[in-house]
Chain A
């Protein structure tokens, strides 16, 4: 099945610096989802990308899906302490109401004020 590798595992940045996490697969992905999990919290859906080369923005967050649909990235501009947490990419295997999410290992972001 489709698996995704996520790097880096940890990232420490100074508040105001940018942050990027990458998700890579050896096979073509049908979709990629991104979730954020705050410390002590639960995963929260951020976005889903399905199209080759797709780029979507949510305020300071930019999500990209590679042209070959084998990689994806999440970029945060000018990090804030509220960005702290673990960011997961995931692939939904299935169709409509049947399937499962396969998660990457996550990137834990620490932001120093």
Chain B
């Protein structure tokens, strides 16, 4: 157990719909990273927040958005869903010790778009 929690575990929805994925980082961690894992694209970085502020962005689609709240939990919003958005979505929080940015991944949310 990494200490990072994600809800829900599974989500099944239809094309065109909107969903919200939730993540709580480890106690004390200020950073939240979102990743998408699919068979064809592998593990892809989406976006990072630190203490409520967006800090880094990957190839995140315009239909996707995220935010980090004052209690440090984060939400990833996916809208106008397409079949290709079906994937495993992970969030991670990190601790920096010296040069090492060690990331702790949550159990993931499996999204299925039908």
Per the CB 8 Å criterion, the residue count for chain B at the interface is 28
A19 within 8 A of B: no
Query: Of residues A88, A90, A92, which shows the largest number of chain B Cβ atoms within 10 Å of its Cβ?
Result: A92
Nearest 4 CB-CB pairings of A with B: A42-B105, A103-B43, A100-B45, A98-B55
Contact A103 to B96, CB < 8 A, known contacts A98-B50, A98-B55? no
Return the chain B residue nearest A42 by Cβ.
B105
17 CB contacts below 8 A, A to B, read: A42-B90, A42-B105, A43-B90, A45-B103, A96-B96, A96-B101, A97-B96, A98-B48, A98-B50, A99-B48, A99-B56, A99-B101, A100-B33, A100-B58, A101-B33, A101-B103, A102-B45
A44 within 8 A of B: yes
Query: Of residues A31, A43, A88, A106, which shows the largest number of chain B Cβ atoms within 10 Å of its Cβ?
Result: A43
By size class, the interface of chain A is 20 to 34
Return the chain B residue nearest A31 by Cβ.
B99
Q: What A residues does B2 contact at CB under 8 A?
A: 42, 44
Q: What B residues does A90 contact at CB under 8 A?
A: 43
Query: Of residues B42, B48, B94, B101, which shows the largest number of chain A Cβ atoms within 10 Å of its Cβ?
Result: B101
Contact A98 B56 (CB under 8 A): yes
A48 within 8 A of B: yes
Q: Helix, strand, loop or mixed for chain A's interface?
A: strand
Contact B58 A105 (CB under 8 A): no
Q: What B residues does A96 contact at CB under 8 A?
A: 96, 101
| Contact surface of A with B, Cβ cutoff 8 Å | 31, 41-45, 48, 50, 88, 90, 92, 94, 96-106
CB proximity of A104 to chain B, nearest CB, Å:
8
Contact B99 A50 (CB under 8 A): yes
Q: What A residues does B99 contact at CB under 8 A?
A: 31, 48, 50
Contact A43 to B105, CB < 8 A, known contacts A48-B100, A97-B31, A105-B42? yes
Not counting A98-B50, A101-B35, A104-B42, a sample of 11 additional A-B residue pairs whose C-beta atoms are within 8 angstroms of each other reads A41-B107, A43-B103, A44-B105, A45-B103, A97-B55, A99-B56, A100-B56, A101-B43, A101-B45, A103-B42, A106-B42
